[in-house]
Chain A
Amino acid sequence: MNANHPVSSQTNTSEESKKMLIAMVSIGIFCALLIVLVYEGSKERIDRLRTEALEKAVFKVLPGISNTRMFLLGADGNFTPVEAPDGKNPVVYAGYDDAGELLGVAIEASGQGYADVIRILYGYDLHSQTLVGFYVLESKETPGLGDKIEKDENFLANFKALSVKLGPESTRVQNRVIPVKQGGKSNPWEVEGITGATISSRAIGNIIGESSSVMVPLIYNQTERFKEYAQNNFSKQ
């Protein structure tokens, strides 16, 4: 390591290590700068695309709405309108029509699929008390098989009028949403699966069943809160 060492081979090694160090460090710094540059350059657009994708999804799962607002479900079980999610508490998206009338609520839910956690969004229609839309936000399901949950028309038809009608006391769902085999649907609260994507399609049925049995009664009993927001914020014509 001593540069004044008389043996020349020592000097060579030390110089060589210096060269290696310089090369690795400078390449490292250059690469890091490049990544930071691209990250900063694309961050805004990526965030915008993500928000857009989520918003588009809200409009997809709640047909007929023209306005949407994010509500946060607090620890006390009450919904409050917010600008952005806090990352801890679940959020829902209330959908309003042109006149500011509350039509339904889009609910985000997630659960274990075949490959990884599946994140979905589904739409709850207050008037008919049914789930009227379904969209996969994030999934790593097997391409060509498990990802049929996003494309299979027969499967998606489950979510045109999936019953989540509340019981007489309005505190719980009368019949919890459950998955059944393909061709085995006989009740309006059953989700018909896909042959060839059994695990993924069952997972969706279970995720919705679990989430809706909690969220639907909560939302239904706080309808006034969602309506109140519209009265204060959307001008009526």
Chain B
Amino acid sequence: MSTRITNNTDKKSEPSSTDEFIKGLWRENPVFVQVLGMCPVLAVSNTAQNALAMGLATAFVLLMSNILVASLRNFIPKQVRIASFILIIATFVTIVDYAIQAISVDLHKNLGAFISLIVVNCLILSRAEAFASKNTLGKSIMDALGMGVGFVFALFCLGAVRELLGNGSLFDVAIFPESFQEWIIMILPAGGFFTLALWLVVFNYFKVKKAKG
């Protein structure tokens, strides 16, 4: 995180807001490159819908906590910053929990305990600590949006593959014919590891290729 690839068209040391957004999507993707926040990534990515809902909930908490941390960064003393961040994150997780219950009982039923677990998602704390507490509000918003979208994208990639192979469907719509033998292991936690490993291979392949070329 310390070295940033600078954009040639911009000032050498100061990446632009768009760059803050783009880096989360691809170059510093929270799941595929930073490998952060693995608990929900492996646990709730068994169907595309769960993965998408979980990703959006996490992205919302990330955005709101980044906004608050960035605006309060000069007010929070250094010694109690982590405690303050946790307090802020926990607040928004509680809010998301209520919001999901108010949106749909079924969705809340599916995500279960993993909503409350967003609070210990290291992705959110790491963005608060490594970025929002040191940067302006505008940049922190762009950073949170980029990381949030990157996280949703990554979770969706996993969820789609696992649901497709493990259940033969996508968003509960059957894709494969009836005769398709479901790979039950893809639905299980082990399938989460396999799928994650495969996506990491894909990402690293492109990274190596780019470095060589």
Would you give the shortest CB distance from B132 to chain A, in whole angstroms? 14
User: A50 near B77 (CB under 8 angstroms)?
Assistant: no
**CB interface residues, B 6-60, toward A, < 8 Å:** 44, 46-47, 50
User: A20 near B188 (CB under 8 angstroms)?
Assistant: no
Q: Interface readout for B58-91 with A: 1 if CB under 8 Å, 0 if not?
A: 0000000000000010011101100110011011
Would you give the shortest CB distance from B78 to chain A, in whole angstroms? 9
Q: Say whether B187 faces chain A, with CB atoms less than 8 Å apart.
A: yes
User: A24 near B109 (CB under 8 angstroms)?
Assistant: no
Q: Say whether A3 faces chain B, with CB atoms less than 8 Å apart.
A: no
Q: Given A38-B99, A49-B102, A138-B109, A143 and B77 touching (CB < 8 A)? A: no
User: A144 near B80 (CB under 8 angstroms)?
Assistant: no
**CB interface residues, B 134-190, toward A, < 8 Å:** 166-167, 184, 187-188
Whole-angstrom distance between the alpha carbons of A53 and B87 in the complex? 33
Q: Say whether A31 faces chain B, with CB atoms less than 8 Å apart.
A: yes
Most buried by B among A27, A28, A39, A196: A27
Chain B interface residue number, banded: 20 to 34
Determine the residue in chain A with the shortest Cβ distance to B80. A20
Chain B residues packing against A (C-beta within 8 Å): 44, 46-47, 50, 72, 75-77, 79-80, 83-84, 87-88, 90-91, 94-95, 98-99, 101-102, 104-105, 109-110, 112-113, 166-167, 184, 187-188
Whole-angstrom distance between the alpha carbons of A196 and B109 in the complex? 21
User: B101 near A49 (CB under 8 angstroms)?
Assistant: yes
Q: Interface readout for A10-22 with B: 1 if CB under 8 Å, 0 if not?
A: 0000001001100
Q: Given A53-B105, A140-B112, A20 and B87 touching (CB < 8 A)? A: no
Partner of A35, one of B80, B83, B94: B94
User: B77 near A19 (CB under 8 angstroms)?
Assistant: yes
Counted as pairs of residues, one from A and one from B, with CB atoms less than 8 Å apart, the total is 69
Q: Say whether A34 faces chain B, with CB atoms less than 8 Å apart.
A: yes
Q: In the complex, what residues of A have CB within 8 A of residue B94's CB?
A: 35, 38
Q: In the complex, what residues of B have CB within 8 A of residue A39's CB?
A: 98
Would you give the shortest CB distance from B174 to chain A, in whole angstroms? 12
* Pairs across A and B, CB under 8 Å, 19 listed: A19-B77, A20-B79, A23-B75, A23-B76, A24-B80, A24-B84, A24-B87, A27-B72, A27-B84, A31-B87, A31-B90, A31-B91, A38-B95, A46-B101, A46-B102, A143-B47, A143-B50, A144-B166, A196-B184
Would you give the shortest CB distance from B52 to chain A, in whole angstroms? 14
Determine the residue in chain A with the shortest Cβ distance to B95. A38
Q: In the complex, what residues of A have CB within 8 A of residue B80's CB?
A: 20, 23-24
User: A35 near B95 (CB under 8 angstroms)?
Assistant: yes
Q: Say whether A45 faces chain B, with CB atoms less than 8 Å apart.
A: yes
Q: Say whether A157 faces chain B, with CB atoms less than 8 Å apart.
A: no
Chain A residues packing against B (C-beta within 8 Å): 16, 19-20, 23-24, 27-28, 31, 34-35, 38-39, 42, 45-46, 49-50, 53, 138-140, 143-145, 196
Q: In the complex, what residues of A have CB within 8 A of residue B44's CB?
A: 143
Determine the residue in chain B with the shortest Cβ distance to A145. B187
User: B109 near A144 (CB under 8 angstroms)?
Assistant: no
Whole-angstrom distance between the alpha carbons of A34 and B65 in the complex? 13
Whole-angstrom distance between the alpha carbons of A36 and B98 in the complex? 11
User: B95 near A140 (CB under 8 angstroms)?
Assistant: no
User: A49 near B105 (CB under 8 angstroms)?
Assistant: yes
Would you give the shortest CB distance from B74 to chain A, in whole angstroms? 11
Q: Given A27-B76, A35-B94, A144 and B187 touching (CB < 8 A)? A: yes
Would you give the shortest CB distance from B114 to chain A, in whole angstroms? 10
User: A34 near B184 (CB under 8 angstroms)?
Assistant: no
User: A27 near B109 (CB under 8 angstroms)?
Assistant: no
Q: In the complex, what residues of A have CB within 8 A of residue B91's CB?
A: 31, 34-35
Q: In the complex, what residues of A have CB within 8 A of residue B167's CB?
A: 144
User: A38 near B83 (CB under 8 angstroms)?
Assistant: no
User: A46 near B88 (CB under 8 angstroms)?
Assistant: no
Q: Given A20-B77, A20-B79, A23-B84, A34 and B95 touching (CB < 8 A)? A: yes
Whole-angstrom distance between the alpha carbons of A49 and B108 in the complex? 12
